[in-house]
Structure 1
Amino acid sequence: MAYKKPYDLKRHLPSVSFVVVALMASAAVAGAFIYTGVYNIGADAPHWSFVYNTLDTLRERSISRAADGIRAPTDLDSPDRIASGAGLYTEMCTGCHLGPGLEPSEMSQGLYPQAPRLASAGLDHTPAEQFWAIKHGIKLSAMPAWGKTHNDELIWDMVAFVRKLPKMSPAQYNAIIASAPADHDEMMEGMAPPADGADHHGGGSGHDAAMEGMAAPAGDAGHVDPPGASHAH
Structure 2
Amino acid sequence: MSHSVSKVSKARFIVLGAAGALLAAIAAIAVVVYSGLYNVAADIPHTKPVFWLIETMRERSVAVRATDLAVPGDLDNADRIVSGAGQYADMCAGCHLAPGMKRTEMSRGLYPRAPELRRGSDLSPAEEFWVVKHGIKATGMPAWGVTHSDEMLWDVVAFLRKLPELSPEQYQALVKEAPTHDEIMQDQPKQKMEADDGHGGHAH
TM-score per shorter chain, which class?
A: 0.7 to 0.9
> How far apart, CA to CA, are the structure 2 residues paired with 1:39 and 1:201?
37
- Tell me how far 1:9 sits from its aligned partner: 7.5
Aligned to 2:24: 25
Per-residue CA deviation, residues 102-159 of structure 1 (Å, 9 max, x unaligned), is: 00000000000000000002x4211100000000000111000000010100000100
Aligned to 2:163: 165
For residues 1-150 of structure 1, the aligned pairs below 5 Å read: 14-121=13-120, 123-150=121-148
The structure with the greater share of residues assigned to helix is 2
> How far apart, CA to CA, are the structure 1 residues paired with 2:46 and 2:132?
24
> How far apart, CA to CA, are the structure 2 residues paired with 1:100 and 1:129?
23
Bigger relative contact order, structure 1 or 2, given CA contacts below 8 A and separation 6+?
1
Aligned to 1:184: 181
SS at match of 1:163: helix
Aligned to 1:221: none
> How far apart, CA to CA, are the structure 2 residues paired with 1:167 and 1:9?
67
> How far apart, CA to CA, are the structure 1 residues paired with 2:43 and 2:65?
30
Aligned to 2:202: none
- Tell me how far 1:190 sits from its aligned partner: 4.4
- Tell me how far 1:200 sits from its aligned partner: 2.7
Aligned to 1:175: 173
- Tell me how far 1:21 sits from its aligned partner: 2.5
Indicate if the aligned counterparts of 2:85 and 2:175 stay in contact, CA closer than 8 A. yes
- Tell me how far 1:24 sits from its aligned partner: 1.6
> How far apart, CA to CA, are the structure 2 residues paired with 1:73 and 1:159?
10
> How far apart, CA to CA, are the structure 1 residues paired with 2:7 and 2:44?
47
Structure 1 runs (4+) deviating above 3 angstroms are 8-15
| TM-score normalised according to structure 1 size | 0.75
Aligned to 2:201: none
> How far apart, CA to CA, are the structure 2 residues paired with 1:65 and 1:21?
34
> Percent identical across equivalent pairs?
48
> How far apart, CA to CA, are the structure 1 residues paired with 2:88 and 2:177?
13
SS at match of 1:164: helix
**Structure 2: which amino acid aligns with 1:110?**
G
Count of residues in correspondence between the two structures: 188
- Tell me how far 1:96 sits from its aligned partner: 0.3
**Structure 2: which amino acid aligns with 1:131?**
F
